[in-house]
Amino acid sequence: MIPFRPELSDYPLVFSDEVAEAIASGAPIVALESNVITHGLPYPHNAATARKVEQAVRDGGAVPATIGIEDGSILVGMTDEDIERFASTPGIPKVSSRDLPIVLARGGKGATTVASSVAIAELAGIAFFASAGIGGVHRGAQTTMDISSDLIQFTRSKVAVICAGAKSILDLGLTMEFLETHCVPLVTYGCDEFPAFYCRTSGIPSPHRIDDERSIARAVDAHWSLGGRGSFLIATPIAQQDAIDNEEVDTVIAHATAAAEREGVRGNALTKYLMRAVDQATEGRAALANASVLISTAALAGRLATAHTRLYSEDLFAGTDPWDGQR
Ligand code: PSU
Ligand code: MN
């Protein structure tokens, strides 16, 4: 492990050699969460999928940086052995943004959600992050107030987040309203509607569709150049052949939501409970769909991070670099 960026030495960041080298050379990097490894899929499918996700980022021209917590440190970039250890160790707790300082102080392992991974990516200077599905406003949030910390973190961290939309276990309409109210830019890639994770459509129109990587990279850059403080969301739909029928998903989720209510499942246990219930009801097709979107969002993120890095070497700042000749 190479200790990198001494100005960040207050943060217990431990970079993998590969990620440290990528940061030093300005190579494109895509951060990835570990909660999907520990809580999303069963072993050994989780380890195999995590490796395919890393490969998809590489195929897009970028370096993957899977994030997790271990022994009071934040891992930024996991080796194959790290991934195997996280995937096969039972009981690693889910760590969202607010849990992060406590788990770090206490020691032990932690699996980072979208929210905490995005916060860490920003600390590490990584501009792109990929995850299959973001958290959002839960159904019934009008009374439960269950709104994922993922959304709040998007208002705080300057990271571009690539996802396949959000699952219809959530209230997608309210999730979109939240993002609009909080000025979080959102574009869709390859679809006219906000995608719904297992399904290519949700009935909710996309505010902006852009189908080429370079234009999206420019929009991301413009957001931050204009002083935007938060994240930039890019949503792309599941591949047609892996998608599940909308009606089937709606029925299954309605049953799962009712069961969760009866059993009193709430708080940070709800998302995993609902995902498992949907997997069981679809006899594993949902888990396959989950793996499919993890890989496809990582592939797009790799290409976008690469396109973003290229902006700086191409025309955007050509001849206008204020540091020209001073470095
Ligand atoms: N949505 C998914 N798959 C997931 C999650 C959400 O489709 O694995 C996980 C992610 O780690 C996300 C977290 O950040 O759940 C959100 O949990 P909550 O709803 O408790 O904020
Ligand atoms: Mn919640």
On whether the pTM is more than 0.75, the answer is: yes
Q: Token pair 């998608």 is at which residue?
A: 243
- For residue 253, tell me if it sits in a domain: no
Cβ neighbours for 154, distance < 8 A, ≥ 6 positions apart? 118, 134, 161, 179, 182, 184, 230, 231, 233
| CA 71, 80, 213, 177 torsion-angle sign | negative
- CB 65 less than 6 A from any atom of ligand 1: no
What is the predicted pLDDT for the residue at 326? Answer: 46
Residue 55 within a domain: yes
Q: Which amino acid is at 80?
A: D
Phi, psi (deg, nearest 5) at residue 98: -75, -20
Is residue 313 domain-resident? yes
Contact partners, residue 324, CB within 8 Å, separation at least 6: none
Supply the pLDDT for residue 138: 95
- Write out the two tokens for 20: 């440290």
Contact (CB, 8 A) for 230 and 154: yes
Picking from 188, 272, 281, the residue whose alpha carbon sits closest to that of residue 236 is 188
Asked if residue 106 belongs to a domain, the reply is yes
Has 247 been annotated as catalytic?
Answer: no
Q: Which ligand minimizes its atom distance to the CA of 98?
A: 1
* CB-count exposure of residue 154 (10 Å: 0-12, 13-18, 19+): buried
Ligand 1 centroid to 177 CA: how many Å? 19
pLDDT of residue 322: 47
313 CA → ligand 1 middle, Å: 36
Whether 89 maps to a domain, the answer reads yes
Catalytic residue among 33, 54, 70, 213: 33
Closest Cα partner for 186 from 212, 157, 154, 213?
154
Residue 128 in 3-state DSSP? strand
Q: What is the CATH number of the domain that holds 60?
A: 3.40.1790.10
The answer to the question of residue 117 being in a domain is: yes
Which domain, by its residues, includes 28?
8-244+282-318
Q: Which two tokens stand for residue 156?
A: 């705080």
Give the number of C-alpha atoms closer than 13 A to the C-alpha of residue 133, restricted to the C-beta side.
30
CA distance 72 to 81: 19
| pLDDT at site 327 | 39
Q: In whole angstroms, give the CA distance from residue 120 to residue 117.
A: 5
Q: 113 CB under 6 A from ligand 1?
A: yes
The protein residue whose alpha carbon is closest to atom 3 in ligand 1 is 133
Decide if 326 is inside a domain: no
Number of structural domains, the chain? 1
C-alpha torsion angle, residues 272, 275, 277, 278 (rounded to 10): 180
Q: From residue 213, how far is each of 49, 203, 239, 297 by CA, in Å?
A: 24, 25, 18, 13
Tokens of 298: 């990582």
Q: How far apart are CA 123 and CA 112, in angstroms?
A: 14
Ligand 1 lined by 271 (C-beta under 6 Å): yes
Phi, psi at 143, each rounded to 5°: -110, -35
DSSP string, 34-87: SHIIIIIS-TTHHHHHHHHHHHHHHHTT-EEEEEEEETTEEEES--HHHHHHHH
> What pLDDT, on the 0 to 100 scale, is given for residue 1?
47
Q: Per residue of the chain (327 residues), give pLDDT as tens.
A: 444 454 555 678 999 999 999 999 999 999 999 999 999 889 999 999 999 999 999 999 999 999 999 999 999 999 999 999 999 999 999 999 999 999 999 999 999 999 999 999 999 999 999 999 999 999 999 999 999 999 999 999 999 999 999 988 999 999 999 999 999 999 999 999 999 999 999 999 999 999 999 999 999 999 999 999 999 999 999 999 999 999 999 999 999 999 999 999 999 999 889 988 999 999 989 999 999 999 999 999 999 999 999 998 876 555 555 445 443
Would the CA dihedral through 299, 183, 321, 127 be positive or negative? negative
* 266 lies in some domain: no
